[in-house]
A and B are shown apart, each in its own frame.
Chain A
Amino acid sequence: MKGVPLALVVAAMGALALVPFLGTGYHLALAIGILNNLVLATAWALFSGPTRYVSLATAAFFGIGSYAAAGLGEALPWPVLLAVALVLGAAMALVVGLSTLRLSGIYFVIFTFGLSELIRQLVTWWEVNVSRSVGRYIFLDVTQEGIFWQLFGLAALVFLVGWLIGRSRLGLALRVVGDDELVARHCGINVTGAKLLLFAVSAAFMTLAGAIMAPRWTYLDPSIAFNPVISFQALIMALLGGAGRLWGPLLGVVPLTLLFEVLGANFPNAFSILLGLVFMAIVYAVPNGIAGWFEGAWPRAVRLLPQKAVR
């Protein structure tokens, strides 16, 4: 059982790495979608999985990254821009985190959602009153393959960082916090500091994803960059896969990205309704995520096998 998660991640990443060589332009676009969702959902679960603080601020960080690319992409060399986006995202997470991570449960959810909307409105206001235009055109010299490989590297980095955190004292601290904050404090854990640090790490990945994805849309406006659907999708995918494990979101990202692709292509007008129905079905049918179901199913399957075969 121990090796299964690693094999799963390696196999999925390996299969994705073949797409630029073997697939068509459509396959590449699909793979980019999968990688983007993989980064967002895994980064979301990095913080929200162990702490159980459900954040709806994914769109806020993603949008900030996109806008950093749109606003500064022509002025700065690309690696510098990515560094700026990372710092912006992490800094905003620290500010937001300091004011919100003392909130618990439903208040945190609503605050993060409200925050995303607030930032969207602020950016809109800025664009209308200062930039004198609602949208921006992005003409950056990046190919689809270039975007693919950047996202691929980012996804690999999310898994690496997540794995390192999981093995570290910080990883244990967050699981203790997720179970019982008061006990965590009495164990000597600086609860606010631990949550803040991981919230910033998670946000930095989301911001980078936004910056990398921005050149894909030649036109960007706040309703695209800060679309709340981004937050909900990351959450649904992570929950379907299983937010309690690093490799869990992967299991939700692949099927749901493909499903949303089919739904979006065939029923564009009913997409939000279908998204909601999928969300409800997931919460009812697989409350512990596919990863949780799989881990439960494995011992069951082993028990069902003839005893000789198992030994």
Chain B
Amino acid sequence: MTVLLEVSGLVRRFGGLVAVNGLSFTVGSSEILGLIGPNGSGKTTALNLLSGALKPDAGDIRLRGRPVAGLSPDRIARLGVARTFQLVRVLPSLDARENVLAGLAFRADPLWGEAADREVSHLLQRVGLGGRGHQRSAELTYIDQKRLELARALALAPKLLLLDEWLAGLNPSELQDGIGLIQSLRREGLSIVLVEHVMDAIRTLCDRCIVMNAGSVLAEGAPDAVLSDPQVVHAYLGDPDA
């Protein structure tokens, strides 16, 4: 397996708080890496550093060997890193089609015009929003907004997809659909970093898991092994008699 993403010694401070403290890991091509840990352990900060929304104070991020740490988010997006947000962020005054078009029109090999229209329809179909293209995205339900956000991320034709609790809040049947969709993306060669609290999804999807606590890696390995690690249980639940 070739290494797509290589992160080493990543540090990010907010004032006195060290949100990410010496984080190192790799993601292979077509691999799904789970990033889990209690609230406030630095998962979302890590995604923000990978996508360029935040600049690291120290450390190195390499995408296919190329250093990307500190690049602007639009450069990183054009290099093939797409993301969704923990609190869903659609473009409210645009309709669903335009939301997806926003992902197609500014990537490294931009699509525009008829070719873009076809791809928009295809992507909306794929996330289960076929025929809803002309609805204003602010009027979509929360779940449909999440679908739309994923379609916009996929429109970038990314090499690496960063999903921040994308499966949270789905009902059981939607969850099955969502898991199926993510698996099909991986089969197409996409690498995915998944920040998630839904344990079933983590067990089903992730090849490897990293457990973060207080900004650094607490444990790493296959989901089942990691989730039964006493240290991990302690980090989540505290002392048995607490």
Contacts from A to B (Cβ < 8 Å): 169, 172-173, 175-176, 178-180, 182-191
Contact = CB atoms under 8 A, between A and B. Distances in A.
11 contacts: A172-B105, A175-B94, A175-B98, A176-B102, A183-B89, A183-B91, A184-B74, A185-B52, A187-B77, A188-B156, A189-B74
Contacts of B102: 172, 176, 183-184, 187, 189
B106 A187 contact: yes
B73 interface: yes
Nearest to B53: A182
Contacts of B94: 175-176, 179
The 7 closest A-B pairs by CB, nearest first: A185-B73, A188-B77, A188-B106, A179-B91, A188-B78, A189-B106, A176-B102
A188 B108 contact: yes
Contacts, number: 70
A278 to B, nearest CB: 27
Contacts of A184: 74, 102
B184 interface: no
B45 to A, nearest CB: 15
Contacts of B156: 187-188
A169 B112 contact: yes
B198 to A, nearest CB: 23
B8 interface: no
Contacts of B78: 188
Contact of A179 (B52, B73, B85, B93): B93
B56 interface: no
A189 B108 CA distance: 10
A178 B94 CA distance: 10
Given A169-B105, A169-B106, A176-B102, A186 B82 contact: yes
A172 B98 contact: yes
A186 B98 CA distance: 15
A175 B106 CA distance: 13
Contacts of B110: 169
Contacts of B112: 169
B103 interface: yes
Contact of B93 (A175, A183, A187): A175
Nearest to A179: B91
A180 B110 CA distance: 20
B91 A186 contact: no
Dominant SS at the B interface?
loop
A206 to B, nearest CB: 26
B51 interface: yes
A42 B184 CA distance: 48
B78 to A, nearest CB: 4
A45 to B, nearest CB: 15
Nearest to A244: B93
B164 to A, nearest CB: 12
B203 interface: no
Contacts of B101: 172
Contacts of A182: 53, 73, 89
Nearest to B73: A185
A132 to B, nearest CB: 49
A188 B157 CA distance: 12
B30 to A, nearest CB: 22
B152 interface: yes
A182 B82 CA distance: 12
B84 to A, nearest CB: 9
B103 A187 contact: yes
A180 B89 contact: yes
Given A178-B93, A188-B74, A188-B77, 20 more contacts: A169-B106, A172-B98, A173-B106, A179-B91, A179-B93, A182-B89, A183-B85, A183-B91, A185-B52, A185-B72, A185-B74, A186-B73, A186-B74, A187-B102, A187-B103, A188-B78, A188-B106, A188-B107, A189-B106, A190-B74
B83 interface: yes
Interface in B58-109: 72-74, 77-78, 82-83, 85, 89, 91-94, 98, 101-103, 105-108
Contacts of B85: 183
Contacts of A175: 91, 93-94, 98
Nearest to A52: B93
Contacts of A189: 74, 102, 106
Contacts of A178: 93
Most central of B74, B77, B152 by chain A CB within 10 Å: B74
Contacts of B93: 175, 178-179
A175 B101 CA distance: 12
B92 to A, nearest CB: 6
